[in-house]
Amino acid sequence: MAQYDYDLITIGAGSGGVRASRVAASQFGARVAIVENSRVGGTCVMRGCVPKKLLIYGAHFSEEAEDATGYGWTVDGVRHDWPALIANKNRELQRLEGVYHRLLRDAGVTLLEGRGRVVDAHTVEVDGTPHTAEHILIAVGGWPSLPAIPGIEHAITSNEALDLPARPDRVVVVGGGYIAVEFAGIFNAFGSRVTEIIRAGQILRGFDEDVRDTLAAEMEKKGIRVRRECQVHSIEKQPDGSLSLLTDCGEDITTDAVMYATGRSPNTKGLGLAEAGVTLDPHGAVVVDQANRSSVPSIAAIGDVTNRVNLTPVAIKEGMAFALSTFGSAPTRVDYADIPSAVFSQPPVGTVGLTEAQARAQGPVDIYLSRFRPMKVTLSGRDEKTMMKLIVSRETDRVVGAHMVGADAAEIIQGIGIAIKAGATKAHFDATVGIHPTAAEEFVTMRDPVPDPSFEHTE
Q: Which residues are annotated as a binding site for NAD(+)?
A: 175-182, 263
Beta-sheet pairing, 142-144 with 129-138: unpaired
What phi and psi, each to the nearest 5 degrees, are found at residue 32?
Answer: -125, 135
429-440: burial string, b at 16+ Cβ within 10 Å, e else: beeeeeeeeebb
- Nearer residue to ligand NDP within complex by CB, 162 or 276: 162
Residue 28 CB, nearest approach to ligand NDP (Å): 30
Beta-sheet pairing, 129-138 with 123-126: antiparallel
Single out the residue of 102, 205, 221, 333 in contact with ligand NDP (rule: CB under 6 A): 205
436 is known as an active-site residue: yes
Q: Which residues fall in the annotated binding site?
A: 53, 116, 175-182, 263, 304
Cα 249 from Cα 357, distance rounded (Å): 29
- Nearer residue to ligand NDP within complex by CB, 176 or 284: 176
Residue 29 CB, nearest approach to ligand NDP (Å): 34
Contact by Cβ (8 Å): 259, 161: yes
Q: Does position 305 bind ligand NDP by CB under 6 A?
A: no
Q: Is the peptide bond before 437 cis (omega within 30 degrees of 0)?
A: yes
- Nearer residue to ligand NDP within complex by CB, 133 or 401: 401
Single out the residue of 342, 405, 424, 446 in contact with ligand NDP (rule: CB under 6 A): 342
Which range touches ligand NDP (CB under 6 A), out of 87-95, 259-267, 356-364, 392-400?
Answer: 259-267
Contact by Cβ (8 Å): 141, 306: no
Helix axes 178-190, 49-70, angle to 10 degrees: 40
Cα 197 from Cα 254, distance rounded (Å): 13
Q: Does position 322 bind ligand NDP by CB under 6 A?
A: no
Residue 242 CB, nearest approach to ligand NDP (Å): 21
Cα 214 from Cα 189, distance rounded (Å): 18
Residue 273 CB, nearest approach to ligand NDP (Å): 21
CA 371-372-377 angle, 5° bins: 145
Single out the residue of 14, 176, 185, 350 in contact with ligand NDP (rule: CB under 6 A): 176
Single out the residue of 140, 179, 211, 402 in contact with ligand NDP (rule: CB under 6 A): 179
Q: Does position 24 bind ligand NDP by CB under 6 A?
A: no
Cα 314 from Cα 16, distance rounded (Å): 8
Q: Does position 264 bind ligand NDP by CB under 6 A?
A: yes
What phi and psi, each to the nearest 5 degrees, are found at residue 181?
Answer: -70, -30
Q: Does position 345 bind ligand NDP by CB under 6 A?
A: no
Q: Which residues are catalytic?
A: 436
Q: Which parts of this chain interact with ligand NDP (CB under 6 A)?
A: 147, 174-180, 182, 198-200, 205, 261-264, 310-311, 341-344
